[in-house]
Structure 1
Amino acid sequence: SNLLITRADMDPRLTDWLTRTVINSRDGIGNHVHSAQLVDVRTAIYTDPLALHEGARRYYRSVKP
């Protein structure tokens, strides 16, 4: 699994932006880090046993198919 970990008190707007940037840059990052090519927005929301940050949750809800 690929996880982007942050502190619970991080600004949700920053976490939303960071999550959006990583997902949107997946192919470019994947040119250097193969496992990044496996990131899928449909399954990235599942982070058990870690809690999903509110900012990331906002991002995933905004792009939900």
Structure 2
Amino acid sequence: MARFELTGSDEIDVRYAHEALAASKALDLSDPAAMARMLGRLEVVIEGLLAVLDAADAAAEPSVEGGEV
């Protein structure tokens, strides 16, 4: 698998994902409100990481000129 360059925004998304994961490990599972907030935060983090990967996949795909495959 080829590596790709991260933009500044991508690096922030990855750092935020690391922080959210660390925070989730310290979560009080007896607090339903805290669990709901964390689920929302993790959803946002996953969406951000998927956007980074989608952009990397789009950049790695060879362009097709003339519309032919």
* TM-score after normalising by structure 1: 0.37
Higher helix share: 2
Structure with the greater alpha carbon radius of gyration: 2
* TM-score after normalising by structure 2: 0.35
